[in-house]
Structure 1
Amino acid sequence: MKFAVVLHKDDDSDYGVTVPDVPGCFSAGRSVSHALDNVLEALALHFEGLVADGEPLPQALEVDVHVDNPDYAGGIWAVVEFDVTPYLGKAVRFNATLPENLLQRIDEKVKRDHRYASRSGFLASAALRELAVAQ
């Protein structure tokens, strides 16, 4: 899932990173790259806490939803890819029927794109995107 993040930097500090769609989730780093790496760790810890507390997992919204929010004025916007599937619960095996050509295209995409560890990961990501749009 792609989460919008906003980076701020004061002259005498590291880059601070806030995840608007995940209240209370923030991080920092000495460079933009380091800050973005650290925010992935912050997201993982935050999601682990939400799961442990039985809280619903946040959905990622488009950057445009947050741009006019005065809390983020002067920030630099970025998007980070965060795999939420480990936090969705126990994996359940099921049978699905797909057209052969579609399945082949999915498998080719999984081989090329390292965001997906498997066909199942790809399908879960696609389902999450579609469900987010439906809300």
Structure 2
Amino acid sequence: KGQFMQYPLYVQRDSRSVFRGNFPDFPGAEIAGGSIDELRRNAQHAVEVLYDGSEQLIPGPTYDTSELRGLEQDGSDGIWLFVNINMSRVRSNSVGFQICLNAALLEQVSMTARQRQMTRSGFLTLAVMNELTRNL
């Protein structure tokens, strides 16, 4: 048995009829497959590899559809899928929490995250990791 969480995956088909997907919550996880089913299976493996032996915190899934739509590439014909990820097979832990930010700062975070095709959670996770490693 596992603890499953649904993460949004943006899927596009390339010219060779290969499906490619990216998780805005998991920057760096590269996923491909010859079918949607294969893509879903490969997504679990990609997340496991990304976090294997890592101290990175796993961001919680983004469910805000307006934030997800803002990440879509102009002129793309991609679709959003929610993919079950078995978190018991991923060797890192995440904890959800609430923070308060100045509205202008939050807008800057949102804009920068969109430009990088990331969610706010993914962007803030990377920002915190960068700040922590910088001070070592």
Unaligned runs of 5+ in 1: 90-127
Pick the structure with greater CA Rg. 1
Counterpart Cα distance in 1 of 2:97 and 2:7: 14
Overall identity of the aligned pairs, in %: 18
Distance 1:85 1:4, change over 3 A: same
- Deviation per CA, 1:7-40: give whole Å up to 9, x if none: 1002324000111110111211111111111111
Deviation at 1:77, TM superposition (A): 0.8
Instruction: Answer yes or no: is the 8 Å Cα contact 2:20–2:33 preserved in 1.
Output: yes
Report the AA paired with residue 25 of structure 1: A
> TM-score under structure 2 normalisation?
0.57
Give, in whole Å, the separation in 1 of the partners of 2:68 and 2:92. Answer: 25
Higher relative contact order (CA 8 A, sep 6+): 2
Count of residues paired in the alignment: 92
Partner of residue 80, structure 2: 77
- Counterpart CA distance in 2 for 1:55 and 1:80 is 21
Flag structure 2 segments of 5+ consecutive residues without an equivalent: 100-136
Work out whether 1:20 is the aligned partner of 2:24: yes
Report the counterpart of residue 43 of structure 2 in structure 1.
Answer: 39
Taking structure 1 as the reference length, the TM-score comes to 0.57
How well do the aligned residues superpose, as a CA RMSD in angstroms? Answer: 2.4
Paired with 1:63 and 1:5, the residues of 2 have a C-alpha distance of 13
- Pairing 1:67–2:63 present: no
Task: Give how far 1:133 is off.
Answer: 7.3
Would you say the 8 A contact 1:4–1:80 is kept in 2? Answer: yes
Paired residue type of 1:40 = Q
One-letter identity of the residue aligned with 1:26 = E
Q: Which has the higher helix share?
A: 1
